[in-house]
Structure 1
Amino acid sequence: MTERYLGSGTVAEDTAGLTGPVPAHLPGRLAITLWDFSWYTRAGDGDVYADLDAACAAAADRGYNAIRICAAPLLLFGGLGLDDLAEDLEIEGLGPAATGGYYGRRTRWYDTPGGYRVDLRSRLADLFTAARRHGLVLILASWEYQQSPSFAASPRWFEALDAVPLEERYRVLADAWDRMLDWIDAHGFRDLVALVELHNEVDFSLLPALADGGAREVRRLRQRHPDLLITASYGKPPHLAMHQVPGGLGAAQFHVYSYGVLDALQQRIDIRSEGSADFPNPALRALLLPDAPEPAEYGRPADWKLRATVVTDQMIYGYDWVDVAAWDAWLNEAYPPYAEVMRREIESRVIAIAAWARWQGVPALVGEGWVGYTPLHGTFEEGEIGRSLAEHGIRTALAAGVWGVVPCSNAAPHHPMWQLDDWQRTVNALVRDAR
C-alpha cells in the first residue's frame, strides 16, 4: 500500500489533559450543581435550602464537588446604599397571583413562595462553612442584572442596579467583587473559591456586550487577584465565530443548550414573547390545563419585577398553566427528526468552547446545559431522551479537556431531577474520575 501525505488536517490534535491550568488546591475536575439564586430565594422554613448544611451534605452524597451560585455581590458589596436591605432581605418571589397562590408556582426557578427574611451576608458565610465541611468548592457568579432582584419584596435592589448607567455596570460589578473577595479573605474562605464570574450570561442580561467594557474589568479584577480564576459567562457563545469572544478571560465558562425540538414547540405556542395579540394562541390552548384561567384573569407580576427578569408574563402564565403530560407527549412524539441534530449541536458547541479555551490557555467549564427551559414538572429533560443528551455532552466535554461540567441545569435541590440521585452519582463519578 502506498502511503500518501494528505496534509496537516489529517494529523489528530493532541487534546489530552485540561484546556488550561487550574490552581493546584482545586479538584482535578469539577462536578457542578447549579444552585443559582435559589439558595436564598428558596430558603423559607421547610423549603429545600432552609438547612444549608443538609443541602451541602446531599450534594456531596450525589457526587458533586462544586456548587455554582449567585453570590449577589452588588447587593452585598456594591456600595449602592443597600446594606440594610442585605441584612434583612424580604423574599417574596414573583408575588401573589390574582386568582390565588403565587406567580411562577409551576415555572422552573420562579416557583418561589417567599414569606421570609434573610441576612444574606451571614447566609453566605454559612454556605462557605457548610461547603468546607462537606468537601465542596464554590463558583461565584452574579445573576443580579438578569433576575435575582425580582424575588425581593422591595424594588430597592433592582432600582439601585437600574440606576447605574449602562456603561458603568461592569465597573461597578468588578468593584463589588473586589470588596467581596476582601471579605472572603477576612473570613478564611479564599481556598474554597473555584471561579469568580463577573456576571452570569452577559449576553442575556441587562448589560452591554462583554467587549464593551466587561472584558477590561475582568482583566482588572484578575490583576487584583492573580491567584484566582476570574471570568464572565455566556448563555450562548458565538460557536461559529469564537474569535468574537474577547480575550483576557480567566476561564471559558460558557453554556451549552440545544433547544431543537423544544424550540420548535416554543415557537409553535408563542410562549416566550410578550404582548402577542392572540395569546394564548390555539396551539397553546390545546396544551393548557382544563381549569386554566384567562391571562387577564390570572394577571401578571408587578411591572418592576418583570423589568428585573429575563422572562415574560406570557412565559409565567404558560408554564404555570400548561398540562405537563401534554407538553411532554408533544416533545417525545416530535423528537425523532431532531435527535441527531441535537446530539451534533451539543457536541459541536462543546468542542468549540474547548478549542477556544485551549487556544487561550484557560480552563473550560460548562456551568449550564443541555436541552433548555421547561415547565417545573415537565420530564422531557429528566427522562431517557434528556439524560442521553446530557451524557453525550458530558462525555464530549471530558474528552475535550473541559475542567467542570453540570450533569444538567435541572440537577439541583430546587428541581424534581434532584430525586434521580443514582443517575447523578453515576455521571458525577464519570466527571471526577476523568483523567
Structure 2
Amino acid sequence: MTEEPRYLGSGTVHVDTRSLTGAPPSHLPPRLAISLWDFSWYTRAEAGGPYADLDAACARAAGLGYNAVRICAAPLLLHGGLGLEALAEDLVIEGLGTAPDGGIYGRGTRWYDVPGGYRINLRTRLLDLFEAAARHGLVVILASWEYQQSPAFAESPEWFEAIDAVPLEDRYRALADAWDRLIGEVSDAGHRDRIALVELHNEVDFSILPPLANGSSEVERLRSLHPDLLITASYGKPPHVAMHTLPEGLGAAQFHVYSYGVLDALQQQIDIRSEGSGGFPNRALRALLKPGAPSVAEYGRLPEWKYRATVVTGQMLYGYDWLDPDAWDTWLYNEYGPYREVMRREIESRVTAIAAWARWKDVPAVVGEGWIGYTPLLGTFEEGPVGRELAEHGIRTALEHGVWGMVLCSNAAPHHPLWADEDWQRRMNHLIRTAPVT
C-alpha cells in the first residue's frame, strides 16, 4: 500500500513560474536578450569609437546572440517642443571636457569616458539605428536618460537648460508628449513593429524627476495613445519588499536588479559617492590611487552646469579617474567571501519580487540593468568569475520566474571591455533565447 505524501500546507505545493509573467505583443521575440547601449550609441560615435558604424555595431550584437538593444532616444531633445530642433540636428558631443593634464574627465569611468570632438544629427541617427536594427534582426527598447545625464555630454548647456526649465511637476507630461511625437516619427519611417518597449524615463527614482506616482497618469495617457505598444517607466531600485506601493498603469515591469554588497562596502569605506566631503580623498581611497595621482585641486572641475546635468558627483569622477583598477579588484576579491551568499540571495529575491508583481499585473517583466553595480572602466570584478557567477544566477532565476527580457550584465555592450568576452555572451544569450515561454 502506497502512502499519500504528508500535506504540510500550501507553501509546500510546487508552482511552476517559468511561463511568462505577461504576454508581449506576438510580433516581438518570445524572449529578449538585451544589450544596454544607453546614450553611448550617440556619445561614443567618435571616429574609431564603438558606435562610429551603427551597422557594424548591430551586426556584432546580433552575432553575439543579442536580439534587443536598449537606448536613450533623447525624446525631449528631438521632440520636446522646447526650441531644440536645430541643436538636435547639429549636436556637438564634447564629453565631460579636458582636464589640466590634457586627458579627458571620466577617463576611468564607464559611460562617462567620452572623448567627444564631433557633431551629430541625432534625428537622422535614430532612424539610421532602426534601419540597422532591422537589417540584423534586433528590436529596440526606447528610454530617456535626459533627466539623469545625457545632456552633460554636449558642448553647450542649451539642451540641459531647456529641459531643466520645465517645472518639476510638468516633466512627465513633457516626456509623454515628446514620446508621442517620436513614436509617430519612427512609425512613419516604417519601424513601429521594431519598438519592443517605451520607457517614459530611465530610473525615475534616481533622476531629476518627482515620484512616479505624480506622473503615472502620463504613462497611462501614452498607453492609451499607443495601445499596441508596451509603455512603462523604469526604476533603478524598485521597492522589492513593498511592490504593492508601485503606481498603477505600468505596461511592463522594467526594473533593475543590482546587488552592491561588497562593492557598497568599498564605496562607503572610501567615500566615493558623496559630494563635498571634508578631507577627501580619505586615507582608504588614497591607498587605492595610482602613483602620482593629482590632488583634487590639481585635477580641477568640470564646468559647473555639467554637474547639475548628471547624477555623478565630483568625488566619484576624481576617484574613478585615478583609481588603480588592480588595487580596486584586489580589495573586492579579498573581502567578497562574507558577501557571496548575501549577494546571491539578494539578486534572487529581487528578481522573484519583480516577477511576482508582473505576474499579478499580467504584464511582461524585463531586467533592463543588473547585476552588481557601478565599477571603474578597467575594473574586472564584474567581468571576472565572481561577477559572471552572479550574473548567471540572476539570468537563470529570471528565466525560472518567467521574465521576458534581461541583460547579461549592464557592462555587456560595445563601449565596455566585457564586449570582448564573446564565448560567454553567446552561451548566455543562447540560454535566454531558447528558454521555454509556456
TM-score range, shorter chain: over 0.9
Whether 1:408 and 2:409 are equivalent positions in the alignment is yes
Structure 2 CA distance for aligned equivalents of residues 319 and 81 of structure 1? 36
SS at match of 2:148: coil
Aligned partners of 1:130, 1:42: CA distance in 2, in Å?
17
What residue identity is the alignment partner of 2:363?
Answer: V
Query: Shift of the alpha carbon at 1:212?
Result: 1.1
CA distance in 2 between partners of 1:415 and 1:374 (Å) = 11
Shift in Å, 1:211: 0.5
Give the partner amino acid of 1:124. L
Name the SS for the 2:70 alignment partner.
strand
Alpha-carbon deviation of 1:251? 0.2
Q: What is the alpha-carbon root mean square deviation over aligned residues?
A: 0.8
Q: What are the superposed Cα offsets for residues 83-115 of structure 1, whole Å, 9 maximum, x if unpaired?
A: 000000000000111222110011110000000
What aligned pairs does 1:213-228 form with structure 2 within 5 A after superposition?
213=215, 215-228=216-229
Q: What secondary structure is seen at the aligned counterpart in 2 of 1:195?
A: strand
**Alignment match, 2:130:** 128
Moved more, 9-18 or 353-362: 9-18
Q: Which residue of 2 aligns with 1:357?
A: 358
Identity level (%): 74
Contact 1:247 1:360 in 2 (8 A): no
* Count of residue pairs the alignment pairs up: 434
Q: Distance in 1 between matches of 2:317 and 2:296?
A: 10
- Report the 3-state secondary structure (helix = DSSP H, G, I; strand = E; otherwise coil) of the residue aligned with 1:254: strand
Q: Which amino acid aligns with 2:413?
A: A
Kept in 2: contact 1:364–1:403 (CA 8 A):
yes
Q: Which amino acid is 1:355 matched to? A: A
Does the aligned pair in 2 maintain the 1:60–1:135 contact within 8 Å? yes
- Aligned to 1:180, which of 179, 182, 198? 182
d(CA) in 1 for partners of 2:297, 2:148? 26
Report what 2:141 is aligned to. 139
Shift of 1:4: 4.2
Give 1:185 shift: 1.2
Q: Deviations over 1:170-196 (max 9, x none)?
A: 000000000001101110010100000
Q: Where do 1:299-338 residues align within 5 Å?
A: 299-338=300-339
Q: Deviations over 1:338-395 (max 9, x none)?
A: 0000000000000000000000000000000000000000000000000000000000
Give the Å deviation of 1:36. 0.1
**Residue 18 of structure 2: aligned partner:** 16
Runs of 4+ in 1 over 6 A off after TM superposition: none
How far 1:292 sits from its partner (Å)?
A: 0.5
Distance verdict in 2 for CA 1:7–1:293, change over 3 Å: same
Give the letter aligned to residue 242 of structure 1: M
Q: Give distance in 2, aligned partners of 1:382 and 1:310.
A: 24
SS class of match (2:333):
helix
The 5 Å alignment of 1:254-293 reads: 254-293=255-294
Name the residue aligned to 1:373.
374
Contact 2:18 2:399 in 1 (8 A): no
Normalised TM-score (structure 1): 0.99
CA drift at 1:301: 1.0
Q: d(CA) in 1 for partners of 2:7 and 2:430?
A: 41
Distance (whole Å) between structure 2 residues aligned to residue 252 and residue 135 of structure 1: 24
In structure 2, C-alpha distance between the alignment counterparts of 1:117 and 1:250, rounded to whole Å: 36
Q: Provide the rounded CA distance (Å) in 2 between the counterparts of 1:16 and 1:69.
A: 28
Matched AA of 1:409: S
- Check conservation: 2:95, 2:154, Cα contact below 8 A: yes
- 2:27 corresponds to: 25
Does 2:80 align with 1:78? yes
**Residue 6 of structure 1, CA deviation:** 2.8
Counterparts in 2 of 1:412-427, with a 5 A limit? 412-427=413-428
Instruction: Give secondary structure in 2 for the equivalent of 1:255.
Output: strand
Secondary structure of 2:358's aligned partner: helix
* Structure-2 residue corresponding to 1:87: 89
C-alpha distance in 1 between matches for 2:338 and 2:179: 45
Letter in 2 for 1:78: G
Q: Tell me by how many angstroms 1:14 deviates.
A: 3.2
Q: 2:79 & 2:307 partners in 1: Cα distance?
A: 24
Letter in 1 for 2:190: G
The unaligned stretches of length 5 or more in structure 2 are none
Matched, 1:111 2:117: no
Are the counterparts in 2 of residues 68 and 139 from structure 1 also a CA contact under 8 Å?
yes
TM-score (norm 2): 0.98
> What amino acid does structure 2 have at the position aligned with 1:299?
G
